[in-house]
Amino acid sequence: MVSSVPLDLPHREGEGLIAPHVVFRVVHGYRFFGSYGITNVVGGGDGKACALQNVVRGPAGKGDVSFGDLTALKAFATDEKVAPAKAFDTLDQAAKYVNEGSEFANVQRMLMSLKIKS
């Protein structure tokens, strides 16, 4: 988890779910792969997961919402198409993308402005 900011959206509560957040998360494969989106789904125990979902599970009977560059982030194989996921050589490069660049700041601002009526 490189960035995680709480987001006020209607959501389902239960096991494996948290309050919604705007996130930028990174997984490690042959490179570090990053993805931004909104989620209330826990990424896995001990910081390990096969895939990280960019989805907010909606309240019962209301449906789910998904905003992000990918539906789910995973570690890609060397022969797979990576885009639109971001690829970095180091975790520090991913942190700099989030903390120092304007692209992620603009995307985060847009995602933080989401309003979903329940």
Question: Do the domain assignments include residue 108?
Answer: yes
Question: Do the domain assignments include residue 49?
Answer: yes
Counting the structural domains of the chain, the total is: 1
* pLDDT(52) > 80: yes
* pLDDT(90) > 90: yes
The answer to whether 56 and 66 have CB atoms below 8 angstroms apart is yes
pLDDT bucket at 116, cuts 50 / 70 / 90: confident
End-to-end CA distance of the chain: 28
CA gyration radius, the chain: 14
Residue with tokens 């125990």: 45
Question: Do the domain assignments include residue 28?
Answer: yes
Question: 1-14: per-residue pLDDT in tens?
Answer: 999 999 999 999 99
Question: Do the domain assignments include residue 117?
Answer: no
The answer to whether 34 and 25 have CB atoms below 8 angstroms apart is yes
pTM listed for this prediction: 0.91
The pLDDT value recorded for residue 47 is: 65
Question: Do the domain assignments include residue 74?
Answer: yes
Q: Which domain holds residue 9?
A: 3-112
Question: Do the domain assignments include residue 18?
Answer: yes
Question: Do the domain assignments include residue 86?
Answer: yes
Taking all residues of the chain, what is their mean pLDDT, rounded to a whole number? 93
Question: Do the domain assignments include residue 118?
Answer: no
